[in-house]
Amino acid sequence: MPLLLLDLDNTLLDRAGPFRAWGEGFLAEIGAPATDIDWLLSIDADGLTDRWDVADAIRDRYGLRIPAIDLVEELHDGVVANTRLDPLVACALRIAGDAGWVPVVVSNGAVRQQEKKIRQTGLDRYVADWVISEEAGVSKPNPRIFAVAAQRGRMPLRGAWVVGDSPEADIGGAAAVGLPSVWLHRGRRWSDTRFAPTRTVDGLIAAVATVLGG
């Protein structure tokens, strides 16, 4: 029963769509041009920009007096509210579990937001456990977070696979700990010369099929 170590955002759960949905609603609420969504998406950088920096950029651009902490909370809650679990992803996880794999989520981020997404979408019913960097005290690509995941899953790291969309955090992390990996390309080309994924696919369903196919 090997471990299947899975990223959360834009791997198990779509994050890009919910952020856009929140952003469009927020811009309409403050009376900003709808075309500003492109600016907001660029500032967010697919979730890589610190939430406080995103909040500060929004406050500066629109001269908002809302406290940064309230804007960060609104962003978090808005993304969570728009997040859904794809039934095909749930099915793929169930198939992986039936085949003897132990799915464990390994996610960088804040416990409050990430755990709420896992529970609210029902993803918690399809994974054995989860490790979130804020709680673990270490983030991907540091190999220690994968060791924590193995402890949570009560399984050795040997034989595990890592699946995710981030070249640095997921695939770089897998390379650092010596594990095979599947990269979800999301329309991108691989460009890092330091390491490379074992397999490249377009989504979670194909990734699970790849792992099960060995």
Contact 75, 22 (CB under 8 A): yes
CATH number of 3-14+85-213: 3.40.50.1000
pTM: 0.91
Q: What residue ranges do the domains of the chain occupy?
A: 3-14+85-213, 16-81
Distance CA 162, CA 98 (A): 18
User: Which residue has better confidence, 171 or 153?
Assistant: 171
| Three-state secondary structure of 25-68 | HHHHHHCCCHHHHHHHHHHHHHHCCCHHHHHHHHHHHHCCCCCH
Give the tens place of pLDDT for each residue, 115-127: 999 999 999 999 9
Which residue, among 47, 176, 66, 196, has the nearest Cα to 113 in the 3D structure? 47
Give yes or no for residue 41 having a pLDDT over 80: yes
Give the tens place of pLDDT for each residue, 90-144: 999 999 999 999 999 999 999 999 999 999 999 999 999 999 999 999 999 999 9
User: Is 187 exposed, middle or buried (CB count within 10 Å of its CB: 0-12, 13-18, 19+)?
Assistant: exposed
